[in-house]
Structure formats: C-alpha cells, structure tokens
Amino acid sequence: MSRLLFKRARPGVRGVRGQIVTDIQNALGRAGHPVPTVDGLYGQDTQTAIASFQKEQGLPETGEVDDVTFQRLTNAAIPSVFLRSLQITADYEGTGFGLANGNFDGAGITWGIVGFTFANGELVRMLQEIDQRLPQVFSNAFGPLTARLRQVLAGSHADQMAFANSISIGNGNHVAHDWDEAFHQLGADPGVRDIQLARVDTVYKKIADDNAVALGLQEELSAALCFDVSVQNGGLKQSEVARVQQSTAGQSEKQKRRFIAELVADRSNPRFRKDVLDRKLSFANGAGTVHGDQYELDGWGLA
C-alpha cells in the first residue's frame, strides 16, 4: 500500500511549502510536466502537474505525492523524516535560507533555515564558518558591509547585541535594507545552504535524536516534535527527559507529545508561551494553528 507524503492543502489550511516541494517542482519540469513558476508551494499548479505525470505513468491520478509517485518522479529515495521535519520547522521559523529578522525577541539577529541567532551564539559560528570556507561568497554578499560584520563577529556578545539593535527596524521585525539584501544574497548561495544544512544535521538533529531515543519515541510526529524543540528551545534537558519518563509511563506517544508540549511551553518566556505551546501541540496532535495559520501535518509528510 502506498504512503501519502505531500498534497495540496484544503481551503483555509496553510499550503505545504519548502525545499522538498521545490525539488518536486523541478523534477516535474525535467519530466515534461512543468509548473508555471517554481515557487516551493504545493498549490493548484503543482497538483495538476502531479496528476498529469501520474496519468502518463499509469498511476492513480490523485494529484498527491505518495512514495511511489515521488520515487518514480525523482529517481530518489523518499525524503527522510529529518528533512520532512526540517521543512515544517523552517516554515514555522519563517526565515528560509536567507531572511534576517531584527531583535524583536531579544535574540539579536535571526537568520537562516532554522533561525540561527546571536543569543545562543549559533549565528556567529555560522557566519564565521561561511566566511572561512567561502570568503569570496561572504564578501560578495556583504560588499562594503563586510568589514563591519567581521568586526562584530569578532567582538563581545554585548557588542553583537548592540549591533543587532542598531540595524533593527519595524519594531525589530526586520533589519535595515542594505543588511537585508546582503543576508538574502548570502542565503541564496548553494554552498552556504549546504553549510547551514550540515550544521542543522550535526547539532539540532543530534539533540533531537538523543531526546527521542531516551524517551523511546518512534513515531514521525514525535521525531518532528523533538526536532522542533531542539531548534526553538534547545532540546530537552536531562531533568526534563527524566520528568517525561516518570510522568508518562505507559501512555501513548500522542499523550507523551502533549506532555512535552506543555513542559516546554511552561519553561519558555511567558511572552512567547502561547506561541511555543501552539507550535508544539501541532506536532502532538498532527494539526493546529501556528502564527494564525491552520496546519495539517499529514500533508507535510508527517504522520
């Protein structure tokens, strides 16, 4: 029996989007069933193109991507649970590979696929690694701003946060136009994207995997929840793992996910508690409202 992976969302539900959808759209083009615009959004055009490809291949014309359709279309293995989890968490983070947010939440600058920040030092490490490995890409992106940024990265944490405040605009939701363009250009480089993904894999995925193993969690939504907790909240502490084990013994994974959601939300900044809880409960329940948008995660390949 085939396994549903990705599909067009129902009316009123946020559309599935991200790098995997972009890869699907590019594969459709190569297969002779192009979408008008490769935009990374699984909308009507992608649904129609998938159905056309399925008809050509003698597959059921559902317009949805199941494992058979994906493998036939891309000649590749289905995306891992990690990559499917990354796609939804990246949408929740809202920064993609290149968008930078200002200091609206006390984290300094937030940039990149999982929202690397000054607050936890990840953005400094990421930018320094890019500068070290791809210096020409780095300097081309930041142009006349390069020397200033290198100075900031080499400075103290206090200096970095002061810099973040100095370029934040619009109540901290954005950064000044020249910096915004520079960060966008940096994030558009394929090599920079690879560096970001490698960091996500070696740091955030490891934390998530360790938490899931410690708790005996095996379901996809549980893995996705652990990954989202790792990205947004730094993962579960040892004491929290022990508390989950003790408090949820004998319960279903869904019940355990709900307990984890409440636990993580309770130790978050009260200002953002509801946002954290809504986001975590979407993984606990497989659906929910996050940032005002309704999500159904089965269409994102998570069940």
Domain locations along the chain: 4-79, 100-192, 194-297
User: Percent of the chain scored above 70 by pLDDT?
Assistant: 100
- CB-based contact 152:123 (threshold 8 Å): no
Mean local confidence (pLDDT), 295-302: 98
- pLDDT at site 156: 97
From CA 184, how far away is CA 192, in angstroms rounded?
11
- CB-based contact 283:220 (threshold 8 Å): no
- pLDDT at site 86: 97
- pLDDT at site 173: 85
pLDDT, mean over the chain: 97
Residues 6+ apart with CB under 8 A from 130: 137, 138, 186, 192, 195
Structure confidence by residue, pLDDT tens digits, 165-183 = 999 998 888 999 999 999 9
- pLDDT at site 172: 80
Mean local confidence (pLDDT), 276-302: 98
SS3 of 17, please?
strand
- pLDDT at site 1: 80
**Is 236 or 96 the better-scoring residue by pLDDT?**
236
- pLDDT at site 105: 87
Question: What is the residue whose two structure tokens read 């740091």?
Answer: 203
Residues 6+ apart with CB under 8 A from 167: 102, 109, 175, 176, 179
SS3 of 113, please?
coil
- pLDDT at site 83: 96
- pLDDT at site 229: 98
Instruction: Give, rounded to a whole angstrom, the gap between the first and last alpha carbons of the chain.
Output: 15
pLDDT at 99 over 90: yes
Strand partners, 28: none
Maximum distance among all alpha carbons in the chain? 61
Structure confidence by residue, pLDDT tens digits, 131-141 = 999 999 999 99
Beta strands in the chain (DSSP E): 4-6, 65-66, 100-101, 110-111, 116-117, 168-169, 174-175, 287-290, 293-296
Q: Backbone phi, then psi, for 209, in 5-degree steps?
A: -60, -40
- pLDDT at site 167: 97
Structure confidence by residue, pLDDT tens digits, 10-36 = 999 999 999 999 999 999 999 999 999
Q: Backbone phi, then psi, for 116, in 5-degree steps?
A: -65, 140
From CA 64, how far away is CA 70, in angstroms rounded?
10
CATH number of 4-79: 1.10.101.10
